[in-house]
Amino acid sequence: MAVSTLFILVPVFCAEAAVGPTAVIREASPMRMPGVPKPDKEHEGTVDCSSPCHWDGDTMYIFSSEMHPFRSSGPDLMHLNPQSERTAYDNEKDYNGGRWIEATHKADDGKLYGWYHREPGDICPGKPLTAPEIGAVVSTDNGMNWRDLGIILKAPDDSLFCDTPNKYFAGGNGDFSVIPDRQKEYVYFLISTYNKDPKEQGVSIARMRYADRDMPVGKVFKWRGGQWKEPGLGGRVTPILGPTIDWHKPRANVFWGPSVHWNTHLERYVMLLNLARDKDWTQEGVYISINRDIVNPEGWSKPEKILDASRLEASKWYPQVIGTTAANRETDKLAGRVTRLFVAGRSKWEIIFLKPGEARPAGALLNADKPVRKETTARPTAKKSTSGKSGAKKK
């Protein structure tokens, strides 16, 4: 059966030039990540956060999490094992809260480093609210077994707001992405910050020296006021993308959940974002921002919408790219001119990145805000679960 193709042209403007790089979205054949398997094995796997991936030799590994990470592998993105396997932490007994692996990095010595979003319980007595934290792990078997290195990013204790109308969080640091700089001098953390003070809400940034990755506790520093001096544990932030409306208001309007990769075609860092438009985290759309140098927190371009929420289905969070060129070992952290766009583990699109002056693909140019037809998937969609992180989270 012939597959129709449409294009959505979205300009992305950077401060460095009047007209910057362009992202073009094109429909593609539907596909899904393996996800976290359901007990009955009849429903599709769940993807409850960004799904990091890496290569070891000719094998690609990908992680999906829902309270706990699962791993799948295969010769490339299109041929992953549909049945993910449960991974293990070395400190699971009596552990307080779920842990979602949201980022990974394969080091030259063979170690795999991972970073998790943790949601501890008992944050606000009598309420289902939590306040996420970010921790680090390391593995010597490509993520089948993880050694916990400890919590490395946490909000100040006085930044929680237990009387918030927000459906899930009283505060915290979480929903993040991690990427080393090109010289492997620092590891950068693009994090979502949910502090009670709007001046510290939105997307913020922290970093640690690459050499400190085996002993990271106390080695991460947040960016605030133009300096990298605030401690990762309890330190304050200056967001690189602040809220339009306070997270702790009914009509909240805030960017969150960054997913960052180095784009080899643009030679830029590219960040995908969610935009929540109320206290229930209703998705407004998927946005993109670009930066020449991740060392410069103020270098990110104004976010531009590339996909409206009306084009999405089921869970509408967690946009990320995954490069499809196996020969270049592309992943969620490294991609080129053409990549797959995933949202909550589902992909029906490619993103084509264009430099200024490059020819755009032929096809209809459509407004990103308006769907043109009802979307379909490759197979029936399972009923959306109402459960979430720690029994409370939005996912």
328: helix, coil or strand? helix
Q: Return the CATH architecture of domain 22-365.
A: 5 Propeller (2.115)
pLDDT number for residue 56: 99
CB 300 within 8 A of CB 292: no
pLDDT of 383 higher than 50: no
pLDDT number for residue 377: 29
pLDDT tens across 79-98, in order? 999 999 999 999 999 999 99
Contacts of residue 4, defined as CB under 8 A and 6 or more positions apart, other chains included, come to 27
pLDDT number for residue 271: 98
Kindly list the distances between the CA atom of residue 292 and the CA atoms of 61, 208, 264, 297, 298, in Å, as whole numbers in the listed order. 28, 20, 12, 10, 11
* Nearest one of 289, 278, 195, 277 to 241, comparing CA atoms: 289
User: Would you put residue 134 in left (φ > 0), alpha (ψ -120 to 50) or beta?
Assistant: beta
Between 23 and 230, where is the model more confident?
230
What pTM value is reported for the model? 0.89
The residue-averaged pLDDT of 134-152 equals 99
pLDDT of 371 higher than 70: no
Give the burial class of 126: count Cβ atoms within 10 A of its Cβ; 0-12 exposed, 13-18 middle, 19 or more buried: exposed
Euclidean distance between CA atoms 352 and 22, whole angstroms: 8
Contacts of residue 220, defined as CB under 8 A and 6 or more positions apart, other chains included, come to 152, 153, 189, 206, 207, 208, 231, 232, 233
pLDDT of 386 higher than 70: no
pLDDT tens across 101-137, in order? 999 999 999 999 999 999 999 999 999 999 999 999 9
Mean pLDDT for the chain? 89
Domain-wise residue ranges, the chain: 22-365
Q: Which DSSP letter does residue 379 get? A: S
DSSP 286-299: EEEEEES-TT-GGG
pLDDT number for residue 22: 75
Q: Which residues pair with 378 in a beta bridge?
A: none
CB 98 within 8 A of CB 119: yes
Euclidean distance between CA atoms 301 and 325, whole angstroms: 27
pLDDT above 70 coverage of the chain, percent: 86
Instruction: Say which amino acid occupies 365.
Output: L
pLDDT of 385 higher than 90: no
CB 207 within 8 A of CB 186: yes
pLDDT band at 376 (very low <50, low <70, confident <90, very high): very low
CB 281 within 8 A of CB 311: no
CB 288 within 8 A of CB 12: yes
Between 102 and 356, where is the model more confident?
102
pLDDT band at 17 (very low <50, low <70, confident <90, very high): very low
pLDDT number for residue 38: 86
pLDDT of 9 higher than 70: no
First-last CA distance in the chain: 35
Euclidean distance between CA atoms 43 and 46, whole angstroms: 9
pLDDT band at 218 (very low <50, low <70, confident <90, very high): very high
pLDDT number for residue 393: 52
pLDDT of 372 higher than 70: no
